[in-house]
Amino acid sequence: MNRISASVSPEGSLEVLSQLEVRTLLDTSARGLYRLFRNCALAVLNSGSHTDDAREIFDTYRDFGINLMQRNQGIKLRLENAPASAFVDGKMIQGIREHLFAVLRDIIYTHDEIHGDPSLDLEKSEHLTSAVFHILRNARVLRTGVDPNVVVCWGGHSIGRAEYDYSKEVGYQFGLRGLDVCTGCGPGAMKGPMKGATIGHAKQRITDGRYLGLTEPGIIASEPPNPIVNELVILPDIEKRLEAFVRVGHGVVIFPGGVGTTEELLYLLGILMHPDNAGHPFPVILTGPAESADYFEAVDRFIAGTLGSAAQGLYQVIVDNPVAVGRAMREAMETVKTFRHKGNDAFYFNWQLRIEKDFQQPFVPSHAAMAGLSLGRDQEPHRLAANLRRVFSGIVAGNVKEHGIRAVEEFGPFEIHADKDMAAAMDDLLQGFVAQRRMKLEGEYTPCYTLLG
């Protein structure tokens, strides 16, 4: 593969660093930030890649290097053996350049101001929410004086053409109605709505449309930011990323996807099922083309078999009707606005929504942790949803995250223990994902898990 070496200056994200920050970033010891910084930077430079295997990307560009240089005018990044696709005629593409310095900004801020702040106790729920708020505020994505209009779009990075085109048409309907789009920033159903919204915004002469991408270090290599993202934020882990979605968004649309999309749905349902959140307006729409009807029937059947009818009542399914999705979400924004007004809550950050530690504490999917998850019905539904979410998070790790892939190779598949009927419900859904090729972008899928019921 072609490589390029070049020096790059920042623009607007982070122009200066202290000498201590530079030393910390370039510390290559086991406790240093260099590997994290390098891998996230490589992922951003690899935008447009057709693989979702993080290990493959890191192995392919084993000779990639990045260095920080202090200059009189500020800092520069020196890249060695970077992917040539990030450059045009020897110059880095502007959007990739912005994303590269967003990586630098967020890694520095999280290290110094989140993990390095003794006043933040990350064992406390309210402090975890504050950490998410601070990261988003530092990235300047919290905008005052704007009515609710951010639609979070979730869906798979490995989807067919019909599903991608449909997600683009839904995004177009959002753009026509002045709605902005927030996604996980990758390809597939994360790119489609953004691409469609750009056309809708252009037709309405909206020049400041927002295409907000939220990611985290473990997933960014398998889902590099797509080129439409104009506001990129890297949260430190999947839990803070998920909380950022529901705090900054005003509604959620879910397109067809795989285990990552199911993880997101379970996270959201678990929060909305908490008794303290009863009556909290948060529109959730599952949608896709006619070809995806069986997919949504399977997801709905899985939710019924695990969390029950109360969870089913928290979302609506609209198949093959982008206009209806656009109208429903636009109308729901007025309900959200009225509710926030009455509760004296901000439009730009949903403080009222109760999110417990079960949904906030980072889950590291080791073999012991996966085997120890409680998946019985002898617990409150929202807590069961939290543990089901962890199951799917572990499968995501085993499928596409570097540490998860290597752990499965070394120790074998994750063992998942569940009640018999719950294991059957998960198996039915997951086998469907495999048959529909929703687990990986390329190649045959070898399960990274074993279900024991």
**Phi/psi at 270 (nearest 5 deg)?**
-60, -40
Report the C-alpha gap between 167 and 188 in whole angstroms. 9
Instruction: Please check whether residue 36 is in contact with residue 47, taking contact to mean a CB–CB distance below 8 angstroms.
Output: no
pLDDT per position as a tens digit, 318-337: 999 999 999 999 999 999 99
> Which pLDDT belongs to residue 437?
82
pLDDT per position as a tens digit, 91-123: 999 999 999 989 989 999 999 999 989 999 999
Domain-wise residue ranges, the chain: 3-115, 143-342, 357-452
Identify the sign of the CA torsion 216, 217, 218, 219.
Answer: positive
Q: Which CATH architecture has domain 143-342?
A: 3-Layer(aba) Sandwich (3.40)
Whether the domain at 3-115 and the domain at 143-342 fall into the same CATH topology: no
Report the C-alpha gap between 150 and 178 in whole angstroms. 9
Instruction: Please check whether residue 73 is in contact with residue 251, taking contact to mean a CB–CB distance below 8 angstroms.
Output: no
Report the C-alpha gap between 191 and 168 in whole angstroms. 8
CATH fold for the domain made of 3-115: MCP/YpsA-like (3.30.1850)
SS3 content of the chain, % helix, strand, coil (to 5): 50, 15, 35
Residues of the chain predicted below pLDDT 70: 1, 11-16, 30, 48-55, 71-74, 440-443
Of the chain, the end-to-end C-alpha distance in Å amounts to 46
Instruction: Please check whether residue 302 is in contact with residue 391, taking contact to mean a CB–CB distance below 8 angstroms.
Output: no
Q: Where are the alpha helices (DSSP H) in 177-213?
A: 192-203
Give the contacts of 76 (CB within 8 A, at least 6 positions apart): 7, 8, 9, 10, 68, 69
What does the buried/exposed string (b/e) look like for 287-325 if buried means 16 or more CB atoms within 10 Å of the residue's CB? bbbeebeebbebbeebbeebbeeebeebbebbbebbebb
State how far the alpha carbon of 343 is from the alpha carbons of 281, 287, 355, in Å: 12, 30, 17
Strands across the sheet with 74-83, in order?
Answer: 3-8, 74-83, 65-71
User: Which residues is 3 bridged to in the sheet?
Assistant: 83
> Which pLDDT belongs to residue 307?
95
State how far the alpha carbon of 122 is from the alpha carbons of 162, 185, 244, 359, in Å: 43, 26, 16, 13
Label residue 383 exposed, middle or buried (CB < 10 Å: 0-12, 13-18, 19+). Answer: middle
